Amino acid sequence: MELEKIKILENRSGCPVATSLDIIGDKWSLIIIRDIFIGRTSFTDFLNAPEKISTNILKNRLNKLEQYEIIYHKVSKSDRKVKNYFLTEKGMELYPLIYELSMWSLKHIEFEHHPLADEWVDGNKDKSAKQVIEETVSDYKKSLKIQINS
């Protein structure tokens, strides 16, 4: 099934990299997408992430990502005030980019890692990039079915 393309009426240039960055290249969008992959789904979950996004920026990025059909939300059955956010197919297809950015950072930047990052690296050290990407997306799709149906 071919996904409907995102329609961009005005962009900086005809460059695919620049145009992609206009959509997901801000400081927060890929962090939100990463967070959804690791199980954070609510506004509060995103606010409590280690990066400490502000509420107005978070609201703006969630709206932007929904507008471009990278994520969508469902209202919680247990609390009608809570929206849970999920990745669309377009959003899931960004995982290889997130993976490669992680690998590049771990290879080229010296910094103190978050314990979840160390756990992720240890759990995937004997796997190829292709395996990690396929397993992560597959696991996300399985968890998505469970979350949507519960």
Q: Is the pTM of this model over 0.95?
A: no
Is 31's pLDDT higher than 80? yes
Among 70, 101, 103, residue whose Cα is nearest residue 87: 70
Which pLDDT belongs to residue 150? 62
89 located within any domain: yes
Question: If you search the block for the tokens 């997408």, which residue do you land on?
Answer: 33
**By residue range, what is the domain housing residue 118?**
16-149
109 within a domain of the structure (yes/no): yes
Least confident of 5-9, 25-29, 116-120, 139-143: 5-9
* Residue 39 CB contacts under 8 Å (≥ 6 apart), including other chains: 143
pLDDT at 9: 78
Ramachandran region, residue 69 (left: φ > 0; alpha: ψ -120 to 50; beta: rest): left
Q: Is 6 within a domain?
A: no
| 29 within domain boundaries | yes
The CATH number of the domain holding residue 127 is: 1.10.10.10
CA distances (Å), 33 to each of 1, 15, 19, 93, 135, in order? Answer: 22, 23, 18, 11, 17
pLDDT per position as a tens digit, 99-147 = 999 999 999 999 999 898 999 999 999 999 999 999 999 999 999 887 7
Q: Residue 149: pLDDT above 80?
A: no
Domain assignment of residue 24, yes or no: yes
pLDDT digits (tens, 9 = 90+) for 70-83: 999 999 888 889 99
pLDDT digits (tens, 9 = 90+) for 39-70: 999 999 999 999 999 999 999 999 999 999 99
Flag whether 3 is in a domain.
Answer: no
